[in-house]
Every structure is written in structure tokens, then in C-alpha cells.
Amino acid sequence: MRNFIRTGAALLTATAFTVSLAAAPVDSSELQVLRDQVQALQQQLKVLARQIELKEEAATAAAPATPKITVNDKGVTFASADAANSLRLRGLVQLDHRAFFNDGGAAAGLNNNGFVLRRARVIAEGVFAKNYSFQLVTEFGGSAVSILDANFNIAVSPALQFKLGKFKAPIGLEHLQSDTWTFFNERSIANNLVPNRDLGITAGGDILGGKLNYTVGVINGVADGASTTNADFDNEKDFVARLFATPFKDSAGSPLQGLSFGVAASYGREKGTAGRTGGYRTDGQQTFFSYLATTITDGPNWRISPQLDYRNGSFGLLGEYTVSAVNVRPSATGLKTELQNKAWQLAAGYVLTGENSSYAGVVPVTNFDYSKGTWGAFEVTGRFANVKIDDAAFPLYASAAASANEASSLGLGLNWYLSKAVAFKLDYYQTAFDFAAGAPAVPTSTALRQDEKAFITRFQLAF
Amino acid sequence: MKLKFFLLSLLALGFASAASAKTVELLNVSYDPTREFYVEYNKAFAAHWKAKNGDDVTIKQSHGGSGKQARGVIDGLPADVVTLALAADVDALYDVAKLIPKDWQKRLPDNSAPYTSTIVFLVRKGNPKGIKDWDDLVKPGVGVITPNPKTSGGARWNYLAAWEFAKRKLGSDDAAKAFVAKLFKNVPVLDSGARGSTTTFVQREIGDVAISWENEAFLVLKEFGADKFEIVVPSLSILAEPTISVVDRVVKKKGTAEVAKAYLDYLYTDEGQEIAARNYYRPRNQAIAAKYPGNFAKLELFTIDAAFGGWAQAQKVHFADGGTFDQIYAK
């Protein structure tokens, strides 16, 4: 339109010039007609310019009230003009391939190699009136469709926020990390001892200038590694609390700036209910420990988990130690015993391409683009983890023939971040098992007859 | 000792006064051409309020097309008071959002219209197109500048003035409709408010005649020079009654009801009326109006109640969706 006006102005000038040149030979009436035409054209140009001006004014005035739509590697976000209300749609797809070695394969009854749709999630998050947010996570991966998270958050202030609904129990450090950004494809075997998702309410927030995060809450209470089935088994509840400090976060340049540590704990009671004891899995997702089906929980259960995270440039370290205690009976009237299972892990990563290691993931400086010769980011990772089952669990509450008494796992990995949203990960895991006294030379569980050796590769799309 | 006690008492009194003095902020959401008027009025009221109560009051102004401004308040613009171009726009605050009571217009004298105005023509110096009355505006080749009646209160007054003129001259509403349709065919640009139209006519040099608020036309002469523009007074025009109201739900929430009411009441005082007259608004106080004879044109005025049965009816027939304006302006 502006070009049109410029062209029109040029034509007008030319016309006016022509008129002036032609002024002498033409009569006055003809000249007047030409003048009128020029004036009419000038008016038309001014009208067009004004209409553009008004459109621009209207657009400028409307801009502050225009909702914003953002599409990027964080998903699709619809936000009101004042950003007080928003809706974000995200997704996560993890396609794994698991390959196990030296386990006897099909001949031993182990048909565990193959592709697995580990996670396929549609995530909706939103904010209303700035202080009220929600999260709804639906899981289509695995063997059943489920709602993983369904919660809403009321932000009274940064220091006081209430979360209600279904969410991750605030205990395990690696467990609280996004599935997308853990060092390894699978969380460590130490993660078996912390509860997964539960229903309840928590209060928490950042205090002391954001250097201390606290969470306290009440949840229904689930077994180690288990998620709630959206129903409670009894009237008892678990109390949870977590403190996590980042005391040097403002100390720019200090090697301790990326140090954070804390402790989480839970306490609750279970009342004579069956099916509350969890089984523990290897990195390859094979069960290496489970209670006997007749075992029931009855009495106090508690957990404590000191935890640490350290980041310094490309280097990252995550460690945690967890004790999970549960009171069990072999039957409704059997002997009650408190069992204390313990686990720990230490994992580290180093981003070879120089990007920062972060609890919230590695963001490549450049995306993989073959035509441009850019390759994204590469990270090498290593981990050692151990789970020790209470010796008293055998043989009354667990079978020494079917369950290991201890598992120790070594993991090595290479992560290729093609972009913030796309990653390819290759992990090797080797897990060794020890057995309780009295266990047979050959365990009844074929998966436990040798060390678990597995390659797990993953293609991940997360936005 | 007595002196010390006296000084301490004075000091204490000073602190107490300082502690009790408040600073209040009001938002006056108004229509387009009232900027200059309310700048002067706000200063006067702030001084009056300070002298009366000891409190500081700051009045913020928001201006735009009257209908557009009303929608803004309905959509959440926190106006303590509205001073809009016509009653229909204030009515909308009740009709759409119940921000004010239904009988808001009865709360202040003169149906809540402390000053009036009318509609005149503004032409370029020498009146090159010989504009004398409304029927000159429908002649071919005459560029007429008027804002959009959908968004501008002033434009609606313009529209109705033209309609009534044509109805009286041509004898029917159908003829009036055809007349106004012809007039709008001569309108090259529809601004959203009266001030925008003034800019279009005066600064962008578009059109031959602007249908204008009387106060806006006089302001143009004052600001841009009587050597460039002239005012043409038509044979008939409309008595335009801009109306005002406290926005009850907003002042209740903000705790500004008292000062907001006082702000509007002050418009009816001699000082308020004087400021209105100085800014070319016709004061209700005729004694004050008489002091400014050069500020107000003499012409026959009709009222909207007499000609159109009031604003509610006029709004419904002419400016609601599907009304006569939509019918004649549909492209």
C-alpha cells in the first residue's frame, strides 16, 4: 500500500509538471479541469494514507489486548494479552529398544528384547488469573492408558503455594526430575524405594531469597515405586516433608554456585492391608525383588532420603540415599516385623560439546542440521546404584529363590541432543545380584540367574 | 515549660495531619474532545478537594470514541467516573454489566448532563465549496468528515442532526434515510472518534467539511488559527447532552465513592460551569453562559427526546446492529 502511495505521489508530481509545461498552450478551462483532477488525486492519496494510518493506530491499540499464541520447543502456548491466563499443550514420546545379553534368551523363557513405547504423553498445563495453575498429564504409553498427573496449584505467594490433586510424591530427587532430563533412559534402581504418584495436598514454596525450598503435605500413601490407583486402601495417611537448599545460588563465579542439597522424609501407617508392598525393578525393568503375595503391611512406614545435586558448567552430579521402612506381617495374624530397605545412587554427566549440565536438561547451542554442519549437543554419563533388601525379609516375607537380596548396577550412557526437543540416547546397564542366605544356587527367576546386561536405546521427542 | 508543651502539641498536630492526609486517584473515562476541558477542570477540582479535605487527588484521563470508551469500562477499565458523549453509552454500563444503577441519570441535576453542546460544520478558510447547511453535504464532490457512529458519540449526534434536518425538509423518515445515505457516500474516512476526525480534516487536510462538536470546532479555530478554518452554523442542529456518572461498582471496590461523587458534583458549581464555558461547552447556568457570548453559536436546536423518542429508541433504530446506519453503510 505504501508503495502504491509512493507511485501515486510520483505520478501526481509528473502530472503537475506536465500541467505546468502545458499551461501556456491550453485554454483556462482545460487548465482548471486538470487542476481539479490533480486535487482530486491528491485527496485520494491523502485518504489512502489516512486509512493506513488509522489501521496502524487500531492495530497498535489492539495489540495489548490481543491474545498471544506461541509455538516453540516448549509446546504450544495460548496466552491472554496480560499473560495472566494461559494454556500450554505439550507432548512426550519415548520409543525405546531394549536388548539383553547373555540371559539365555528365548531358550530361558526370556523374550524381553524389542521396541517399547515407554512413554507417550499429552500434557496440558494452564494458568488462570496468574495465581491458579493446573497440570493434566495423560499417559498413552506402556500397557494401559492412564492419567498420571491431575493437579492444580494455588499460588498465594512464591513462598506459599498449595498443590492439590495427583502428583509426584515429594521424596526422591531423581524421581522429581522430569522424565525427559534424567542422565539415563531409566531412573536408577535406588528410585525403587520412593513413592511415585499419589493423591493429596501439599504446601510449599521458596523462602530465604529462593535459597530454600520447602514442601510439607499429606498424601494417601503408596508403596515403594508405586503410583496411586486413585483410591486409598485405608483411612491412614502419609505425611511428607522436604527441604532443599541452594545456598550459593547467588554466588556468581563460585564453584559452589551449582550446589544444592536437601532431605526428604515421609511417615505414615498402614493398617493390615494386602497388596501394599511394592516390587523392585532393574534398569532393564525386570523385577529383582518382590514380597510374597501373602505379605501384608501393618503399622508404621517411613522413608528418609538425603539428596544432592551439583552442576558446574558442563559437569553434573546427582546423588541420593534412601531408607524405606515398612512394617509387614506374613499373614493377617503373623509376626510383625519392620523391614528397612536401603538404596543409593551416584550419577554424573559431562556435556562434551560445552553446553551447561542442568537438572532441567541440556539445551544444545546449535541444533543438529546436516546441511549446516551443526551437530547439537553430546553428553556422556555414568552411574552406580545399589539396593539392599533387609536380610530379615527372607524367607518369611520374600522368597530367597525368586528375589535378590541386593542389586548393584553400573550404567554408562551417551546422550545426543539433536535439539531441545529431540534426543537420542544410548545406555548400557549391567546389574549384579546377591542373594540371601539359604537361597538356591540357581534362582527360580530366570532374570536373576546372571547379571543383567542390557543396551537400552531411546528416541525421544519432548516439547 | 508551657512553650515547650505548646510546640510539642503543634508538632503532634502536624504529624497527625500528615498521617491523616490521603492521596486518592480517580480515573475519568471520557469521550474524545474533552481532553483540554478536563485538564483544566481536574486542576481546579484537585485544588478544591485539597482545600476542603486536605487530601490530594490525582485524576487520570482516558479519551476515545464514546462508544468505544463505554465498552472499555464494561470490559474492565477501572473508571471511577464516566463523562461520555451521550446517555446511551452510559446506559450500556447498566445494560451490559450492571456497573451502575438503572436510574443513574436521575442522580444528578439536568439528567446528569452538566453542560451541553451542539453540532456545527467546520470548513476551510473561504468555504471553497460554499457549505451553508446540511443539504450542501450531500452534493457530489463534497468530502465530508465525520466519525463512525458505531464507536463515536459525536458521530451519532451528527447522524441524528442530519436525519432530523432531512426529515423536516423532505417530509419522511424514508427520505431522511436516503439523505443520510447520500451524505455518508461523501465520507472518505471513518475515524473512531471525534478527535480523530479533527485530525483527518485539520492536519491530514482531507475533506471539505467536518461535522463537528461545537466545542471542538471552536478549539480548532483557537489552536490552528481562524485564518485557516471557519465555522458554519447550520439552520438546525441537535442539543447534544453529554452525560456523566459515577461507576458504582468500581468506586465501591476502590473506596473512592465520596471523592468521585464530589468530582461530578463540582461540575455543577459556578467554577465548574465557568471552566466548561471557557472550553466552549454550553453551561447549564445561563448567567455564566451569557458571559461567553462568542463561544456559542445561535441556532435552532431540537432535542433527541422530541425528535427520536430518547436515546434508547434512537440507539435501537439507528445504531444497533442491523439499524439504519448498518443498512446505509453496508458495502
**Does residue A101 sit in the same domain as residue A51?**
no
Residue B189 near chain A (CB below 8 Å): yes
- Last residue of one domain, picked from the residues A44, A63, A82: A63
Confidence at A24, pLDDT banded by 50, 70, 90: low
- Expressed as residue numbers, the domain containing A11 is 2-63
Q: Is residue A116 part of a domain?
A: no
Q: Which CATH architecture has domain B20-116+241-295?
A: 3-Layer(aba) Sandwich (3.40)
Task: Find the closest chain A residue to B76 by CA distance.
Answer: A65
Residue extents of the structural domains in chain B: 20-116+241-295, 119-239+299-329
Q: What is the pLDDT of residue A273?
A: 65
- Picking from B192, B196, B206, the nearest residue to A46 by CB comes out as B206
As for the ipTM of the complex, it is 0.75
3-state secondary structure of B326: helix
Mean pLDDT of A86-107: 89
Residue B78 near chain A (CB below 8 Å): no
Look at residue B127 and tell me whether its pLDDT is greater than 60: yes
Q: Whole-angstrom Cα distance, residue A389 to residue A291?
A: 11
Mean pLDDT of A182-196: 96
Q: What is the pLDDT of residue A9?
A: 53
Mean pLDDT of B17-21: 49
Q: What is the pLDDT of residue B10?
A: 43
| DSSP string of B41-84, one letter each residue | HHHHHHHHHHHHHS-EEEEEEEEE-HHHHHHHHHTT---SEEEE
**Of A447, A452, A359, nearest in space to A410 by CA:** A452
Q: Does A43 sit within 8 Å of B189, measured CB to CB?
A: no
Q: Is residue A294 part of a domain?
A: yes
Q: What is the pLDDT of residue A59?
A: 83
Q: Is residue A154 part of a domain?
A: no
Mean pLDDT of B114-135: 96
Name beta bridge partners: A300.
A269
Percent of chain B at pLDDT exceeding 90: 83
Closest-CA distance of chain A to residue B176, Å: 27
Residue B237 near chain A (CB below 8 Å): no
Q: What is the pLDDT of residue A428?
A: 97
- Picking from B143, B191, B207, the nearest residue to A54 by CB comes out as B191
Look at residue A290 and tell me whether its pLDDT is greater than 90: yes
Confidence at B11, pLDDT banded by 50, 70, 90: very low
Which positions in chain B touch A36 (Cβ < 8 Å)? none
Residue B206 near chain A (CB below 8 Å): yes
Name beta bridge partners: A415.
A379, A425
**CA torsion through residues A412, A417, A421, A422, sign:** negative
Read off the DSSP letter of residue A357: P
Closest-CA distance of chain B to residue A23, Å: 23
Q: What angle do CA A50, A2, A21 make, to 5 degrees?
A: 90
**Does residue A424 sit in the same domain as residue A332?**
yes
Cell of residue A46, nine digits: 491523502
Contacts of B272 (CB under 8 A, 6+ apart): B41, B44, B45, B114, B266
Q: What angle do CA A339, A344, A348 make, to 5 degrees?
A: 170
Cα–Cα distances in Å, from B272 out to B30, B175, B243, B279, B316?
A: 16, 42, 15, 11, 33
Cβ atoms B79, B244 nearer than 8 A: no
Mean pLDDT of A183-207: 96
Q: What is the pLDDT of residue B125?
A: 95
Q: Does B204 sit within 8 Å of A54, measured CB to CB?
A: no
Q: Does A49 sit within 8 Å of B196, measured CB to CB?
A: no
Which positions in chain A touch B191 (Cβ < 8 Å)? 54
- Picking from B191, B196, B205, the nearest residue to A46 by CB comes out as B205
Which positions in chain B touch A50 (Cβ < 8 Å)? 189, 200, 204, 206
Task: Find the closest chain B residue to A61 by CA distance.
Answer: B64
Q: How many domains does chain A have?
A: 2
Q: Does domain B119-239+299-329 have CATH number 3.40.50.720?
A: no
Which positions in chain B touch A47 (Cβ < 8 Å)? 188-189, 206
Mean pLDDT of B30-47: 95
Question: CB neighbours (10 Å) of residue B259?
Answer: 23
Q: Does A49 sit within 8 Å of B204, measured CB to CB?
A: yes
Closest-CA distance of chain A to residue B196, Å: 9
Confidence at B1, pLDDT banded by 50, 70, 90: very low
Mean pLDDT of A241-249: 97
**Does residue A450 sit in the same domain as residue A323?**
yes
Cβ atoms A387, A192 nearer than 8 A: yes
Look at residue A358 and tell me whether its pLDDT is greater than 70: yes
Q: Whole-angstrom Cα distance, residue A167 to residue A346?
A: 25
Q: What are A305-336's pLDDT values in tens digits? A: 999 999 999 999 999 999 999 999 998 888 89
Confidence at B3, pLDDT banded by 50, 70, 90: very low
> Same CATH topology for B20-116+241-295 and B119-239+299-329?
yes
Residue to mutate among A39, A42, A46, with most B CBs inside 10 A, is: A46
**Does residue A58 sit in the same domain as residue A183?**
no
Percent of chain A at pLDDT exceeding 70: 93
Q: Whole-angstrom Cα distance, residue A446 to residue A462?
A: 35
Confidence at A276, pLDDT banded by 50, 70, 90: low
Q: What is the pLDDT of residue B38?
A: 97
Mean pLDDT of B87-110: 94
Chain A residues within 8 Å of chain B (Cβ atoms): 43, 46-47, 49-51, 53-54, 57-58
**Does residue A245 sit in the same domain as residue A178?**
yes
Q: What is the mean pLDDT of chain A?
A: 90
Look at residue B12 and tell me whether its pLDDT is greater than 70: no
Closest-CA distance of chain B to residue A46, Å: 6
**Does residue A220 sit in the same domain as residue A337?**
yes
**CA torsion through residues A167, A170, A172, A177, sign:** positive
Q: Whole-angstrom Cα distance, residue A256 to residue A250?
A: 10
Question: What CATH code is carried by the domain that includes residue A450?
Answer: 2.40.160.10
Residue to mutate among B146, B200, B201, B209, with most A CBs inside 10 A, is: B200
Cα–Cα distances in Å, from A52 out to A13, A18, A57, B197?
A: 21, 29, 9, 14
Q: What are A29-51's pLDDT values in tens digits? A: 888 889 888 988 998 899 999 88
Look at residue B329 and tell me whether its pLDDT is greater than 90: no
**Does residue A302 sit in the same domain as residue A440?**
yes
Q: Does A58 sit within 8 Å of B206, measured CB to CB?
A: no
**Does residue A31 sit in the same domain as residue A100?**
no
Q: What are A449-460's pLDDT values in tens digits? A: 999 999 999 999
Cβ atoms A278, A194 nearer than 8 A: no
Residue tagged 533388601 (cell numbers): A389
Rounded-to-10 torsion of CA A257, A188, A169, A93: 100
Residue B200 near chain A (CB below 8 Å): yes
More confident residue, A355 or A234: A355
Task: Find the closest chain B residue to A49 by CA distance.
Answer: B204
More confident residue, A86 or B32: A86
Q: What is the mean pLDDT of chain B?
A: 91
Cβ atoms A115, A95 nearer than 8 A: yes
Task: Find the closest chain A residue to B190 by CA distance.
Answer: A51
Q: What are B143-181's pLDDT values in tens digits? A: 999 999 998 989 999 999 999 999 999 999 999 999 999
Check residue B98 and give left, alpha or beta (phi > 0: left; psi -120 to 50: alpha): left
Look at residue B9 and tell me whether its pLDDT is greater than 80: no
Q: What is the pLDDT of residue B7?
A: 46
Cβ atoms A105, A83 nearer than 8 A: no
Q: What is the pLDDT of residue A277?
A: 67
Q: Does A51 sit within 8 Å of B189, measured CB to CB?
A: yes
Q: What is the pLDDT of residue A13?
A: 53
**Does residue A333 sit in the same domain as residue A430?**
yes
